[in-house]
Amino acid sequence: MKTRKFLAAPLCLCLALTMLMTFFLTPLTGTAHAKSVIKLAFVSSEDPYLSVDGATAAVFKNLVEAGTNREIEVRLFPAAVLGQEREMMEMLKGGLIHVNLATAGSMGSFFPLYGAFDIPYLVPNHSVAYDVWDGAFGQKVDKLILEKTGLRSLGFYGQDGFYHITNNTRPIKSVADMKGLKFRTMTLPSHIKFFESMGASAIPMSWAELYTSLQTGVIDGQHNPIGYTVQGKFQEVQKYMTLTSHMYAVGFLLVNDDWFQSLSPEHQNVVVDAARVARVAGRGITSIVSADKSKGLPFLGEQMEIYSPTPKEIEGFANATIPSMKKYVKESLGKEGEDLLNDYIQAVEDSKKKLGYTK
């Protein structure tokens, strides 16, 4: 088993203190004027050639600063330096930061209806996902997020694609192989229900705890898109990966609405356009990283035993999980959640027809 390499403690402490001093000593401004500052936080790496968050943030920063002639400066706070998902959402709602690349873990506590998007095996591929979330359904969800949370969504940014399962106990080829294993999830009831429906245990924990918990055997496995698996270096502490593609990771580029409304119309347009282009850039990095031989699926294939389930095996996973997930939406999210799920299902079906898929 490989050992994880860490920066020397004094250097880590120095970097963290520098980031926090930059954050707290920069005055927040209610309006966009010369040299006002946007604070953009996210949970993963700042490396734009590894991380969908890093790529999205880098492009957003460049376009906002260039589009406002540097009247607005964008400061990035990556790698959860300001706190984990929940803390960053609290900061966004409170106006302490302006922009957050909100993951599934971020959204669950503040927008419970997010659980309606986690029905397994609904989204067949990236093309359909982009079409659905960039279209009328995505716009409807953006409005719903604003209504329910007071936060403005500037669209869906992809969050690295499809989830896959890894573990350190045995190859996973069927639902029977899941029984008795302990998997880390985010604090999302929908993700917890997914694992429980297959006889596995779901252990909610933060991203920061995940590597050590896998390394020490507190949990057996986890599920994440390929990019996050590489970023977390989970191949060092996991032996098996199954390409289940069971859920599509939907992330949102969220901004504090009071701050956004305080901008001039010209600067609002710059921010909206920057978000649109940044989302596309992030999606491109998702595909590139997944295919890259040094940091994508080929790289993981050299470190782990990877299994691609047959269509029949995928059908078994789907049959075991979809009914219980739909029941969860009905019982936990009520009619509003059920209606939103039905709209999502219809949007996916409409997109498949539009794009020429036969089933």
- Give the domain CATH number at 204: 3.40.190.170
Instruction: Examine the domain organization and report whether 27 and 168 are in the same domain.
Output: no
Alpha helices in the chain (DSSP H): 9-25, 52-67, 85-94, 104-110, 126-134, 136-149, 189-196, 207-216, 226-231, 257-262, 265-291, 297-303, 311-354
- Write the pLDDT tens digit of every residue in 138-182: 999 999 999 999 999 999 987 889 999 999 999 999 999 999 999
**Tell me, what's the pLDDT at 8?**
40
Q: What is the dihedral of CA 78, 112, 220, 8, to 10 degrees?
A: 20
Q: List residues bridging with 166 in a β-sheet.
A: 222, 241
- Write the pLDDT tens digit of every residue in 198-246: 999 999 998 889 999 999 999 999 999 999 999 999 999 999 999 999 9
**Tell me, what's the pLDDT at 183?**
98
Which residue is listed with tokens 């040094």?
Answer: 294
Q: How far is CA 50 from CA 3, 7, 84, 239, in A?
A: 21, 19, 20, 22
Instruction: Examine the domain organization and report whether 311 and 261 are in the same domain.
Output: no
**Tell me, what's the pLDDT at 158?**
75
Domain assignment present for 222: yes
The answer to whether 168 and 221 have CB atoms below 8 angstroms apart is yes
Asked whether the predicted pLDDT for residue 21 surpasses 80, the reply is no
Instruction: Examine the domain organization and report whether 175 and 148 are in the same domain.
Output: no
**Tell me, what's the pLDDT at 98?**
98
Helices 311-354 and 189-196 cross at an angle (nearest 10°) of: 140
Instruction: Examine the domain organization and report whether 269 and 243 are in the same domain.
Output: no
Percent of the chain scored above 90 by pLDDT?
A: 85
Calpha distance 241→93 (Å, rounded)? 37
Mean pLDDT of the chain: 91
Domain assignment present for 179: yes
Instruction: Examine the domain organization and report whether 172 and 151 are in the same domain.
Output: no
Q: What is the mean pLDDT of residues 34-54?
A: 91
Distance of CA 327 to the CA centre of its chain: 24
Instruction: Examine the domain organization and report whether 40 and 97 are in the same domain.
Output: yes
Calpha distance 33→21 (Å, rounded)? 23
- Write the pLDDT tens digit of every residue in 105-144: 889 889 999 999 999 999 999 999 999 999 999 999 999 9
- Write the pLDDT tens digit of every residue in 281-301: 999 998 998 999 999 999 999
Asked whether the predicted pLDDT for residue 4 surpasses 80, the reply is no
pLDDT band at 9 (very low <50, low <70, confident <90, very high): very low
Asked whether the predicted pLDDT for residue 12 surpasses 50, the reply is no
Nearest to 46, CA basis, from 291, 296, 282, 303: 282
pTM over 0.85: yes
Instruction: Examine the domain organization and report whether 77 and 148 are in the same domain.
Output: yes
Q: Please give the tally of structural domains in the chain.
A: 2
pLDDT band at 74 (very low <50, low <70, confident <90, very high): very high
Calpha distance 102→89 (Å, rounded)? 8
Q: Domain range spanning residue 40?
A: 12-160+249-289
Domain assignment present for 7: no
Q: What is the mean pLDDT of residues 265-282?
A: 97
Instruction: Examine the domain organization and report whether 325 and 187 are in the same domain.
Output: yes
Distance of CA 287 to the CA centre of its chain: 15
Instruction: Examine the domain organization and report whether 54 and 110 are in the same domain.
Output: yes
Q: For residue 232, what are the contacts with CB-CB under 8 A and spacing of at least 6?
A: 207, 210, 211, 224
**Tell me, what's the pLDDT at 358?**
82
**Tell me, what's the pLDDT at 23?**
55
Instruction: Examine the domain organization and report whether 26 and 43 are in the same domain.
Output: yes
Q: What is the mean pLDDT of residues 299-309?
A: 97
Instruction: Examine the domain organization and report whether 105 and 191 are in the same domain.
Output: no
Calpha distance 250→31 (Å, rounded)? 30
CA-based angle 195:206:38, to the nearest 5?
Answer: 125
**Tell me, what's the pLDDT at 19?**
52
CB atoms within 10 A of CB 220: 23
